[in-house]
Structure 1
Amino acid sequence: MRFVDEAIINIRAGKGGNGCVSFRREKFIPKGGPDGGDGGDGGNVFVRGSSKLLSLYDFRLKRNYAAEGGHSGGGSQMFGRKGKDLILDLPVGTLLYAIREDGVEELVADLSEPDEEILLCRGGRGGHGNEFFKSATMRTPRFAQPGEEGEAIKVRLELKILADAGLLGLPNAGKSTFISKVSAARPKIANYAFTTLTPNLGVMINEYDTDQRMVIADIPGLIEGAHEGQGLGHRFLKHVERTRFLVHILSIEDVDLEDPWSGFDLINEELIKFDEVLGDRLQLQVINKMDLADAEIVEHLKEKAAEDGRTVYFMSALNDVGVEEVVEEMWKLRDSLDMSAPVNTARTWELEDEDEDEEDFSDVEVVWVTEE
């Protein structure tokens, strides 16, 4: 699955329909009064959270979105039809930032709930037909009002919630091999560091209940100094921030027998330095590639984990040894979490409440026409 966590799109609401200049013309009524109808309002643009979407990839392919414009009014006091609203479905957890002309970004929406709809751009108001302007002093108005332009906005989309589980660890720990074993994801796998440079998503289906699914993100490997941007650390840590719990995988090749958990501690320290809340995020600690070590070393590490009161799982993702136990524990951890709760982070986003301006109809733009 191709994963994209950011995209910039242009959104425009529908233009209001023009009002109509028309006069009643029937047999024996040669000079009827004005009967031009109003134009319809332009369609609004809404954004809606969808739990079925996992990536913003489609919004990289198509960048311009516009709602339908309102239809123009007609004679015999016929009003134009309102333009159809446009609803953009986005993954739950998407943040929308309006980009102003000066380049400053402002948060305008946070889709944290499924099926949550937020009005992003309001459609233009339809123009009044000439019948609207008739009065005792103006019997035959020969003008009508054009429709107003709909609101337009340039938006940067940022996906805050990436997956249920994030595979975390040092480079070349075997994370991509693990996700390829438990899902249909087929990431690039090779025996060198930073094989994975962008997150790979895999969907794991519960074998007992096919309606239960878990989204897993294979996050590129982190190194010491990641919180300072080393090794593209900021980009990778941002992905970690968007997972509900972590599966921390450490290759047995990186285990120091004198201090076997230093590899786990190194990455956890980077998490805390980047976002202190990440230090409290639930995680499973797994040592991978146990097939590369002697059985005595593996047994020693298991005894050491028991002595230290540390729950550590051992597996060989390549040979499918111990993978089932890790997967079972992942399901238990997922079921223990509130999946509708937003992902907590110390780096908060705040929305600013702005009072909506009341509509002002005092300034009416008109178009004059000549009498035929």
Structure 2
Amino acid sequence: MAVSGRALLFDYQADLIGPHGASFAKLLVASLAVAAVSVSPWLGAAMLPVVAGLAGAASLAVSAALRAAADGSGTSDAAYGFAEPAALLWLLLLVPLRGRRWWVSWAAPAVLWAAIVLRPIAVGASDFSVIIALFFAVGSTAVLGAGIAWRLIEADRRRRAEALRLEQRTKFARDLHDFVAHHVTGIVVQAQGALAIAEKKPQLVRPSLERIEQAGTQALTSMRHMVGMLRSTSTEEGEPARAPLAGIVEVRSLIEGFSAVGGARARLDMEGTFDGLPVEVTTTAHRVVMEALTNVRKHAHGCTEVRVRVVRSAGGVTVRVSDNGRPRGGRHNSGGGFGLKGLAERVGLIGGRIQAGPTPDGGWSVEATLPPTPVSAGAAL
């Protein structure tokens, strides 16, 4: 930018450009080219080729005007300076490197190349002007080749980085498979042992179940960390979800699975239609039910019945899970990042609210009110 500005000043002082006649046209197009160079750092991948193409087209238009004037009057006015070709050369380097892949990005370099090469012979072909044109042609071709080569090098670097990232993700996936297989095998072995001693030594069943729970919790915690490494956190990649997201429709399957295990029996009441709800709301509703049922299993002593009620109204979706058990330790809390505290954080992200506490009959209730439209588009799924 500084070089182009000094060249523009030199051209003006040397009377190669000026405020009158053809010199004024050259001054305008040179100033346009220098301005395009000055603002190029702030131009995006789509706008840069457009601005550069306009500068090149303006230069070609001035060359055509100079040629027409030379044919009519035989003027020998100098057609070229230093500022305009220097600025156009810089744009010729930037467009292949930074331009987006669409037709303007391919057309702009051709226009710039032609503008640089044709200007010296705009007023006539003399030995000197042809030499300058050939010099500009070699320099422009070299600059254009450097820009394309630079772009290819950057593209290759990105491909290698992506290949390395995919390789690391594959390694993590293998580690995740081995880790889960190891822990699941241990859980199965402990469960088989608990079944084997259930009749002969029932007092040993509870310690076995506790070990199974600990192993399962450890496996889930580590798996969450490793899956977090596998997930892409870049918003510009736009990767789709790798598995269908559980929503309100899947709540019924969740209830059936809870009741099938035995112990407390769950009952589901649904009111209203749930079509058209944003995915943030439906997945959060499913998470509320899942977390509440998990807390019932872990903390509701003597629970025989769980009632899940999901209601759609004009104000949004209300999810209420209540049980008739007695809380162990005085309150329900699954602990860790996915307990009631984490659930309240998740519900709050979409503009909802959640309450949890004892019911008048001695049980426990979790109630979440979710808005029909999330207040934050960045809510985590």
TM-score range, shorter chain: under 0.3
The structure, 1 or 2, with the larger RCO (C-alpha pairs under 8 Å, 6+ apart) is 1
Return the index of the structure with the highest Cα Rg.
2
Bigger fraction of residues in strand: 1
Structure that is richer in helix per residue: 2
TM-score (norm 1): 0.22
